[in-house]
Structure 1
């Protein structure tokens, strides 16, 4: 029997996500849970029903260029195959390509980290955690003995996109960081993880891949967004404004 229900009801407004968050206070002004919900709801009125900066990143590779949103699930729990705590994507999206589907797990960030490093996460309950780590590493082509410095969230969130692609009978998976931080908090950890799985070109505003993982073409992306489009323009693939430019060059 499936551990996670497969029957769903639509969310009609951004705040409908609140009961599905780890805690209600996560949904507040300027934080990723609220920004993700509001940005993706607003995108339903945009081209291909995807936020503009997500489209910008996906369109960098002809295999994903022009992808449109078929379905999206906010705060989607994803089984990792071991019966333990699932991975929970901020959004799981089903993308329509010209002749196929792709699955994209989206991780929203402002200035939050990607959680503990694998070496920190492994402390305690090693009997359960070690088998999970070995499975995640097997999926992503990593050596379990070498992943200690990597952020655990990046491993399980990325692997979850591969598992959901297989469940949907898709051949392509994307793990997309949807960042609202103008200084790309977490980019160093993201690039270290990408390099470890064989995608050293990964960077902010870029799509990298594919790497073959468990028979799935895996892409990593980083969308550099802002909370609002007012007074902002897109420069080198990111929303920016004169004030930010002056601050960075001062």
Structure 2
């Protein structure tokens, strides 16, 4: 995992950081849309700032940030990692950009005939998030490792709290039901454009939020 980062020179700078720069950098898709939205904002996009309160401030944002899940498997590549200050607290935030793309494979598919490595990873993720293992089959694996990324980076940067935010540019909030199902398994009720939270075993508060992005960035 790289430890030295350089500033971007605009949205186009994000393309080279993608796992597949040609396939994933397309107009109307999440990677490009998210890049143009955040680069155009003076700090936090309005809809993301609204989740955290009137004094929310972006301290730093790192596109396509890789987070080790403390095993020999692939790192979790977060669309955007941010440190945010709000209400005099610092928050490690994993941002998942979405338009119409799914949250990837379901647990029932990803965990079918699991290798020892997958068993170890899923147990680690569930313990970290605070959910029984194995979790319900209908949940999406991506939401587990994206949430874990926020928690792990909160520990690494010693922030007060952690957050996993879905920044959606879908007019019909596509896949909100999948996000809501994941939160339900954690004992939470999802609410579009409002944070919900749970306290982790380590004392930090873990926030979840669904922000509705400006559709103008779909054609940027």
TM-score (norm 2): 0.93
**Higher gyration radius (CA):** 1
Structure 2 residue ranges without an equivalent (≥5): none
Write the distance in 2 (CA, Å) between the matches of 1:43 and 1:213: 35
Find the counterpart in structure 1 of residue 75 from structure 2: 86
Find the counterpart in structure 2 of residue 106 from structure 1: 95
Q: Which has the higher contact order (CA 8 A, sep 6+)?
A: 2
Native 8 Å contact 1:140 1:214 kept in 2: no
The Cα offsets for residues 5-26 of structure 1, whole Å up to 9 and x where unpaired, read as: 2111111111111111121231
Structure 1 residue ranges without an equivalent (≥5): 60-64, 230-250
Give SS of 1:144's match. Answer: coil
The Cα offsets for residues 203-227 of structure 1, whole Å up to 9 and x where unpaired, read as: 2222111332543210000001232
Find the counterpart in structure 1 of residue 50 from structure 2: 56
The Cα offsets for residues 36-91 of structure 1, whole Å up to 9 and x where unpaired, read as: 000000112xxxx10011112222xxxxx522000000000011111321111110
Number of paired residues? 216
Find the counterpart in structure 1 of residue 143 from structure 2: 154
Native 8 Å contact 1:57 1:205 kept in 2: yes
TM-score (norm 1): 0.82
The Cα offsets for residues 135-162 of structure 1, whole Å up to 9 and x where unpaired, read as: 0000111111333221000000001100
Find the counterpart in structure 1 of residue 199 from structure 2: 211
- Note if 1:37 corresponds to 2:30: no
Native 8 Å contact 2:52 2:86 kept in 1: no
> After TM superposition, what 4+ stretches of structure 1 lie above 4 angstroms from structure 2?
none
- Note if 1:127 corresponds to 2:116: yes
Decide which of 10, 16, 20 is 1:13's aligned counterpart: 10
- Note if 1:226 corresponds to 2:214: yes
Give SS of 1:228's match. Answer: helix
